[in-house]
Amino acid sequence: MYAQAATSSTTCTSTWLVNSLKGVSARLLRKDYDAHVRRYLWGGHFWSGSYFAGSCGGATLTVVQQYIERQQRPVS
């Protein structure tokens, strides 16, 4: 039962965080660039209702930053 409570708490926190980030970023984008971005929206929405949250297995921030920086860039 404790594991379920911890999972539920983590899920609710993640959901709240993601929804907050989506809401704030959408409001800021609409405020600053409404005329430009409006033509790119599908149904008037910036974000879908889904999201992905992953873990880096306890890696330090430095290791994660190095991993990201060393990724190959797409060829233009």
Name the β-bridge partners of 45.
42
Q: List pLDDT tens digits, range 42-74.
A: 788 888 888 887 788 889 999 989 988 888 776
Structure tokens given for 34:
């409404």
Measure the CA–CA gap between 58 and 5, rounded to whole angstroms. 22
Q: How confident is the model at residue 76 (pLDDT cuts 50, 70, 90)?
A: low
